[in-house]
Structure 1
Amino acid sequence: MAGFDWFWKAMGQGSSRNQKRSHKIVAAAADHTERFRQCSDDELRAAVATTIGPTGLQDPAGFLAILGIAAERTLGFTPYPPQAQGTLRLLEGDVIHMATGEGKTLVGAMAATGYALMGKRVHAITVNDYLAQRDAAWMRPLVEFFGLTVGAIAEKLTPAERREVYRCNIVYGPVNEIGFDVLRDQLIVRREDTVQTPADVAIVDEADSVLVDEALVPLVLAGSQPGRAPQGKITQLVKKLKLGEDFTTDDERRNVFLTEQGANKVEQALGIESLYNDEHVGTTLVQVNLALHAQELLLRDVHYLVRDGKVALIDASKGRVADLQRWPDGLQAAVEAKEGIAVTEGGRILDTITLQALLGRYPVVCGMTGTAKEATDQLREFYNLQVSVIERNHPLQRFDEQDRVYATMDAKKLAIIDEIRRVHATGQPVLVGTQDVAESEELAAALAEYDIAVNVLNAKNDAEEARIIAEAGDVGRVTVSTQMAGRGTDIKLGGADEADHDQVAAVGGLCVIGTGRHRSSRLDNQLRGRAGRQGDPGKSVFFVSLEDDMVAAGGAGEEVNATPDQFGFIDSKRIRDFIEHCQRVTEGQLLEIHSQTWKYNKLISDQRVIIDKRRAEILDTDAALTALGARAPQRLAQLEETVAPEVLAQAAREILLYHLDQGWSDHLALLDDVRESIHLRAIARETPLDEFHRIAVTEFKALADTAMEAAVDTFSTVLIDNDGAHLDEAGLARPSATWTYMVNDNPLSSNGNFVKKAVRVMFGRNNEN
């Protein structure tokens, strides 16, 4: 690796040079500001043209000055120099790292307005409907000052309303809704039914979450045709299997494996000869593995909730219910069967696209987040994006204490309760970040025994998020939250109105306590970032035990000597370094999973581009009629005598598009089945990824020919008159209803790592500091 040092140094030097240049431009913008402040509104708008050249900004300092004055006049905010620098870096295509409370919303709006003034259509991508509508309404005066239009996409909008919004210069929208509109536009049979107007720029809020954490989450458009549900008998059967005897799991608890004894039990109970013969390996064995996974690895109130008779997934990185998300159909149904609730049919997948592929459709992608720096490698590898760190407007006053490490989980829990009681007694507000819903409720119950009133924020009461967060910085407040409080929140000292700001600041500001390290340091830093807003005082500390999941996964195979005191506390720099090492390992595991999954999805994304181009050609030309007529000339001649030319051309489009879309849907279903069993290829000493590519390429080559053959047959036989092609009467109706959802990261997918032995912790007498 040493030979590549020059490359990484060059990357760093390039970033440093850009930052130095940005500082000079921002300083120059300050000099321009007084001159432009003398201008009337009309003069200010006219001055924009003098700062933009044919290839982009020719006077970036003047451009920033004009944007800043416009923000001052329309919104009442005078941008700080760091906000001006952030705007500039967005306009130059970077992902910016800005701390919590530093005004990213205004920065994003100024950059969006800047791009729009350069003639580009902008999608400002958010993580939910609420933020999209809030930010569009909040920043509307700035956008409209320059004669530009702005709108927001929301789930409840009709196609006609969406079409109108997408025509705006700047469109705020949740990433999933924008993606679903892309998918729906891939099913139209008339060009005028298109909803989206293509955009040139995507500005992504919470960029590391969208571009990294959720990048490979597939958005799915499904049809009303029935899907596959698991057999109830298998669900009951696996409940009787015993861990360690009939099945095992890997240390990361991502995969479950039947033992020979377990396989024999299942075979006997089902009355079959072998789970591994051709008849059962792709059906019964898959069902058993799904049921086992649901039973052993997916935990209620950790990975999902049961609410109103339905399974609701929990987004681990946010701690919220993952609206519209479900696991792949078989696994979703297995969890529902496990909980004894109605099993939902998955429906036929008509089309799918990952968030990474969705963002790849934009010529320019940039973004902002408070934890971009930690995702630098992923952003560079998967998007070729550079991260720019924007300095704070006020120096950070938060004190980040070193981790407090304990030998056991029980000792850690007692220490956390003692620390909360101690801090609470001073009047200092406390925000406790827990790993899951179950832990948050357990901790709140324990604190209640000491008569400490606790606000609990988790996926079960997310509707109260705004109220709970608004109160979290008040005097003596104790808030226990999952990772919900880690993103998109701004906790003000002294309560929502900051009435008691000085009193809270005097006792140390907000105290953030983490009940464990996450597998990604970015999630830890998001939680830390709740304290120390805009130069306020604050404190953060994380409690870790050697029995934590992150330590077990990251330290697998390693032996650790540690000497705890009578309370289980381990005061050892070597052990704290070991914890850091474990987290780096788990981050590496997540990156490897991302990399492997990306390799599978990349080929599908490339194939979908080909399908998109073929669909566009069919929609925008008479290629369908030409192709079908060339293969069925007599039928064409017959129809031309009785059917109007434009009706006949549209009939040909609908026929060919029906079979092309059907073929693509079948192709996706086939590849989904192949993915579920591809790891078995390793048994035959074949490389799973290579085999997947071979199958995907071979099947895709046949897709177009098969679709064309079926279309010719339909063209030759279906009734076509001046009302068009009567496909419904021929049993070729498109789904009467479509619905959308997001598929959670498939826990069954192999990450390519070997199974490791669990970390061994040896408690000795020698305390090594």
Structure 2
Amino acid sequence: MGAFDWFWKAMGAQGDRNDKRSRGLVDDAEARAEELSGLDDATLATLARQTVDDGAITDKATFLGILSVASTRTLGMRPFTVQLQAVLRLLEGDVIQMATGEGKTLVGAMAATGFALTGRRVHVITVNDYLAGRDAEWMAPLVEFFGLGVGSITEDKSADQRREVYRRDIVYGPVNEIGFDHLRDNQITHRDQAVQAPAEVALVDEADSVLVDEALVPLVLAGSEPGMRATGQITAVVAHLEEDTHYTVDDDRRNVFLTDEGAHAVEEALGLDSLYSDDNIATVLVRVNLALHARALLIRDVHYLVDEGRVQLIDASRGRVADLQRWPDGLQAAVEAKEGLAVSDGGRILDQITLQALMRRYPMLCGMTGTAVEATDQLSQFYGLGVSVIERNNPLARFDEEDRVYATMKEKNAALIREIVLIHETGQPVLVGTHDVAESEDLAAALQERGIEVNVLNAKNDAEEARIVAEAGDVGRVTVSTQMAGRGTDIRLGGADERDRAEVAELGGLAVIGTARHRTSRLDNQLRGRAGRQGDPGLSLFFVSLEDDVVASGGAGEEISARPDADGRIDSRRIRDFVAHCQRVTEGQLLEIHSQTWKYGQLLADQRVIIDERRADLLDTDKAWRELARRAPERAGELADLDPAVREQAAREIMLFHLDHEWSEHLGLMDDVRESIHLRAIARETPIDEFHRIAVREFKELAQRAVDKAVETFTRVTIDAEGVHLTEQDLARPSATWTYMVSDNPLSGSGNSVISGIGNIFR
């Protein structure tokens, strides 16, 4: 037995025991459901609460049986055995993997109801407004059966409406809205202004997307103030630089570097003695690097769209426009300048939090997705979560064909089109998964030239998603889509009404074709999962070339010999194994990037916890008044005749203003440090160590500076019966604030483009 074999064997044995125990409990639950079905609604609801003692479920079989009966009565949906098993695993804190079409929505609602019955408020985290609103309304009868409240948070709700919803037992909401509300609550000066109420459980839908793919995306609350931007002059200078002469790009095309010749060219064009002087290194050089990154690494219609004079980022893991996302101020401005658009204002960062830090705030975390197993390492390493695989209700009937590998991208694309035409001629519906907008449009045009009518689904026409997806399984349909069709969709054979279901099933069901392998097998499996729903027949097939990004990146430095046939195809087990090896390498690279990026963010996340605790202390006690009165007793004496509540609130507002301002300054400083930290390597310093050293040093000074400035303000600001008049001292909070998500996601990337990934400029 190998050194670690005993560990994996023990882990497997533990998992088997959990599965056997779950199956036994579910069998008992189904038997109990038959017995309980004769009870009236009120008796069932009462019995459910009687199975809970001190927040713990004492009789899980009865508890699940009651949930099953309630679902059948209120929704007309009797849970399958596998759904009950999934509910049990969620209640025990796992991330569950359930295949497409297996009923995750009902499972999530039953588990959320179960948590709420134990006295814990639940946030069901979705990926968009539509799903939050739909699922809350759809599942409401089940929740309300037990006298519980349910609602949804959507972008259009007012603060008062949100406040009311957050106090319900179960709250459905998009992750960004819940995060932004958390940030806004961190700007309040009186507890009554808070919108959110504490929640003990986060149940995350599409868990791998939220907890892994987008885990390091910061949610940002900003206030008006100009930020760093690339000037038009710098953009023009960089536009004339040539690759390999003036700059080089690394093999992954994630980083770009000026050569000595390039630095001299920039210095000459800008009239500078040295880009690397103390005066220029933190300003001009950073702007040059940002402009160079925008020019060399970010491609229009791959990484972003330009629509109505605005740059819109594309979320590569979903293939959609990321409405709220933007790059860090400097890079956003550099891309806008590159495209000749009006350069948007930056702004002071008032507060920010990554999705990972947001999710880790919940005492209990669980989730569900169709592709969790491939993310097991990340879920375990960053959240301490286990994964439970839930078997299908009906056996999988989809045929997953071996990859077809070609020597060149040109030969692969020709074969891809031939295969689509061939399948289409039979009438079998085809869904083609591409990696970016440009590729989807090029492929659709090529198919249309051959007389095939094509539905295109990408970030440019996502408003038509429901119609396109509803039709994708009908006879003769050809749908070309980005990763949009990979999540949250249910393609029914024979069309939305399944009118031609029998005919499509006879033809072999939906055929799913991938134009290239992704950098992670999870995204491949999401695409495969569009076919084979609930035991339906189906086909999945991926085309690969040795020039694809995943092969070029994962196989960098490795020599591989192959003999293609006349069409360029390489039919070799050894080559297919090599492609799989390349994908595993890129998955390892992504995990390492995630780990490194996490290290940069974790210290700030820890510091943020300290700030949050300090804020709560100031909000909920009279500590602000006591501290200021101790530091400035004469001023406190002058205010002795004021209503104690008024002077305490005045002290609170003063201390919170300076605490928030210093934290904002700290975030801005560390953002600047992070943009230029790679320059520390020039001085033979380790970037991450230097980042931590600066962050710790600056944070130590932050707390003292906030108190000192609060005391200074306390001694000179007007405080009367109406409260503190901070505006008289130009200490008002920003009158305009806005929220956005910084797209700092190294996991984004295409598999078929010449340049892959939006890059991680902070690595």
Within a 5 Å distance, the mapping from 1:19-168 to structure 2 comes to: 19-168=19-168
For 1:214 and 1:423, locate their aligned partners in 2 and report how far apart those are by CA, in whole Å: 36
For 2:730 and 2:14, locate their aligned partners in 1 and report how far apart those are by CA, in whole Å: 60
For residues 612-657 of structure 1, what are the alpha-carbon distances to aligned partners after superposition, in whole Å with 9 as ceiling and x for unaligned?
A: 010011111111111111111111111223x322111111111111
Structure 1 residue 751, shift from structure 2 partner:
7.7
> What corresponds to 1:720 in structure 2?
719
TM-score by length of structure 2 reads 0.97
For 1:211 and 1:596, locate their aligned partners in 2 and report how far apart those are by CA, in whole Å: 16
Structure 1 residue 532, shift from structure 2 partner:
0.1
TM-score by length of structure 1 reads 0.97
For 1:723 and 1:50, locate their aligned partners in 2 and report how far apart those are by CA, in whole Å: 51
**Matched AA of 1:241:** L
> What corresponds to 2:373 in structure 1?
373
Q: Does 1:729 align with 2:722?
A: no
> What corresponds to 2:313 in structure 1?
313
Contact map agreement 2:229 2:287 (CA 8 A) in 1: no
Q: Does 1:173 align with 2:182?
A: no
Residue 253 of structure 1 aligns to a residue whose secondary structure is coil
For 1:187 and 1:6, locate their aligned partners in 2 and report how far apart those are by CA, in whole Å: 51
Contact map agreement 1:596 1:751 (CA 8 A) in 2: no
Q: Does 1:5 align with 2:2?
A: no
Contact map agreement 1:426 1:507 (CA 8 A) in 2: yes
For 1:340 and 1:640, locate their aligned partners in 2 and report how far apart those are by CA, in whole Å: 60
For 1:9 and 1:51, locate their aligned partners in 2 and report how far apart those are by CA, in whole Å: 35
Q: Does 159-168 or 43-52 show the bigger shift?
A: 43-52
**Matched AA of 1:261:** E
**Matched AA of 2:585:** V
Structure 1 residue 749, shift from structure 2 partner:
4.0
Residue 559 of structure 1 aligns to a residue whose secondary structure is coil
Within a 5 Å distance, the mapping from 1:347-362 to structure 2 comes to: 347-362=347-362
Q: Does 1:691 align with 2:690?
A: yes
For 1:15 and 1:658, locate their aligned partners in 2 and report how far apart those are by CA, in whole Å: 51
For 1:138 and 1:269, locate their aligned partners in 2 and report how far apart those are by CA, in whole Å: 62
> What corresponds to 1:226 in structure 2?
226
For 2:613 and 2:369, locate their aligned partners in 1 and report how far apart those are by CA, in whole Å: 34
Structure 1 residue 279, shift from structure 2 partner:
1.0
For 1:663 and 1:50, locate their aligned partners in 2 and report how far apart those are by CA, in whole Å: 50
For residues 361-409 of structure 1, what are the alpha-carbon distances to aligned partners after superposition, in whole Å with 9 as ceiling and x for unaligned?
A: 1000000000001111110111010000000000000000010011111
> What corresponds to 2:507 in structure 1?
507
For 2:680 and 2:513, locate their aligned partners in 1 and report how far apart those are by CA, in whole Å: 46
Contact map agreement 2:448 2:454 (CA 8 A) in 1: yes
Contact map agreement 2:550 2:583 (CA 8 A) in 1: yes
For 2:12 and 2:390, locate their aligned partners in 1 and report how far apart those are by CA, in whole Å: 15
Structure 1 residue 17, shift from structure 2 partner:
1.2
Contact map agreement 1:676 1:749 (CA 8 A) in 2: no
Contact map agreement 1:592 1:751 (CA 8 A) in 2: no
Q: Does 1:287 align with 2:287?
A: yes
Within a 5 Å distance, the mapping from 1:491-502 to structure 2 comes to: 491-502=491-502
For 2:235 and 2:490, locate their aligned partners in 1 and report how far apart those are by CA, in whole Å: 44
Contact map agreement 1:593 1:751 (CA 8 A) in 2: no
For residues 663-690 of structure 1, what are the alpha-carbon distances to aligned partners after superposition, in whole Å with 9 as ceiling and x for unaligned?
A: 0001011111111122222222222111
Structure 1 residue 50, shift from structure 2 partner:
3.5
For 1:342 and 1:266, locate their aligned partners in 2 and report how far apart those are by CA, in whole Å: 24
> What corresponds to 1:615 in structure 2?
615
Summarize the Cα distance change of 1:462–1:680 in structure 2 as closer, same or farther, 3 Å threshold.
same
Structure 1 residue 724, shift from structure 2 partner:
1.2
> What corresponds to 1:187 in structure 2?
187
Residue 567 of structure 2 aligns to a residue whose secondary structure is coil
Q: Does 1:673 align with 2:672?
A: yes
For 1:151 and 1:166, locate their aligned partners in 2 and report how far apart those are by CA, in whole Å: 8
**Matched AA of 2:87:** T
Contact map agreement 1:183 1:221 (CA 8 A) in 2: yes
Q: Does 1:564 align with 2:564?
A: yes
Contact map agreement 2:133 2:172 (CA 8 A) in 1: yes
Structure 1 residue 559, shift from structure 2 partner:
1.0
Residue 561 of structure 1 aligns to a residue whose secondary structure is coil
> What corresponds to 1:484 in structure 2?
484
For 2:46 and 2:172, locate their aligned partners in 1 and report how far apart those are by CA, in whole Å: 26
For 2:196 and 2:762, locate their aligned partners in 1 and report how far apart those are by CA, in whole Å: 36
**Matched AA of 1:614:** R
Within a 5 Å distance, the mapping from 1:369-768 to structure 2 comes to: 369-641=369-641, 643-745=642-744, 749=760
Gaps (5+ residues) in structure 2? 746-757
Contact map agreement 2:675 2:761 (CA 8 A) in 1: no
For residues 282-328 of structure 1, what are the alpha-carbon distances to aligned partners after superposition, in whole Å with 9 as ceiling and x for unaligned?
A: 11111111111101110000000001110000000000001100000
> What corresponds to 1:332 in structure 2?
332
For residues 20-76 of structure 1, what are the alpha-carbon distances to aligned partners after superposition, in whole Å with 9 as ceiling and x for unaligned?
A: 100000111111111101111122112213322335111111111110010000000
> What corresponds to 2:748 in structure 1?
none
> What corresponds to 1:767 in structure 2?
none
Contact map agreement 1:200 1:363 (CA 8 A) in 2: yes
For 1:617 and 1:487, locate their aligned partners in 2 and report how far apart those are by CA, in whole Å: 42
For 1:268 and 1:4, locate their aligned partners in 2 and report how far apart those are by CA, in whole Å: 59
**Matched AA of 1:90:** L
Structure 1 residue 339, shift from structure 2 partner:
0.4
For residues 120-145 of structure 1, what are the alpha-carbon distances to aligned partners after superposition, in whole Å with 9 as ceiling and x for unaligned?
A: 10000000000000000000000000
**Matched AA of 1:272:** L
Summarize the Cα distance change of 1:225–1:262 in structure 2 as closer, same or farther, 3 Å threshold.
same
Structure 1 residue 451, shift from structure 2 partner:
0.9
For residues 468-498 of structure 1, what are the alpha-carbon distances to aligned partners after superposition, in whole Å with 9 as ceiling and x for unaligned?
A: 0000000000000000000111100000000
Contact map agreement 2:129 2:155 (CA 8 A) in 1: yes
For 1:432 and 1:161, locate their aligned partners in 2 and report how far apart those are by CA, in whole Å: 42
Q: Does 164-173 or 219-228 show the bigger shift?
A: 219-228
For 2:281 and 2:684, locate their aligned partners in 1 and report how far apart those are by CA, in whole Å: 18
Residue 561 of structure 2 aligns to a residue whose secondary structure is strand
- How many residues end up aligned between the 2 structures? 751
Structure 1 residue 93, shift from structure 2 partner:
0.4
For 1:648 and 1:47, locate their aligned partners in 2 and report how far apart those are by CA, in whole Å: 51
For 2:633 and 2:232, locate their aligned partners in 1 and report how far apart those are by CA, in whole Å: 53
For 1:226 and 1:723, locate their aligned partners in 2 and report how far apart those are by CA, in whole Å: 33
Residue 468 of structure 2 aligns to a residue whose secondary structure is helix
Residue 346 of structure 1 aligns to a residue whose secondary structure is coil
**Matched AA of 1:42:** A
For 1:310 and 1:270, locate their aligned partners in 2 and report how far apart those are by CA, in whole Å: 28
Identity, % of aligned positions: 69
> What corresponds to 1:344 in structure 2?
344
For 2:317 and 2:142, locate their aligned partners in 1 and report how far apart those are by CA, in whole Å: 33
For 1:417 and 1:441, locate their aligned partners in 2 and report how far apart those are by CA, in whole Å: 13
For 1:520 and 1:749, locate their aligned partners in 2 and report how far apart those are by CA, in whole Å: 17
Contact map agreement 1:220 1:742 (CA 8 A) in 2: yes
Structure 1 residue 533, shift from structure 2 partner:
0.2
For 2:63 and 2:51, locate their aligned partners in 1 and report how far apart those are by CA, in whole Å: 6
Structure 1 residue 10, shift from structure 2 partner:
2.4
**Matched AA of 1:189:** T
Q: Does 308-317 or 35-44 show the bigger shift?
A: 35-44
Contact map agreement 2:88 2:111 (CA 8 A) in 1: yes
Residue 560 of structure 2 aligns to a residue whose secondary structure is strand
Summarize the Cα distance change of 1:560–1:420 in structure 2 as closer, same or farther, 3 Å threshold.
same
Q: CA RMSD in A?
A: 1.1
Residue 78 of structure 1 aligns to a residue whose secondary structure is coil
Contact map agreement 2:405 2:543 (CA 8 A) in 1: yes
For residues 186-224 of structure 1, what are the alpha-carbon distances to aligned partners after superposition, in whole Å with 9 as ceiling and x for unaligned?
A: 000011001100101000000000000000000000012
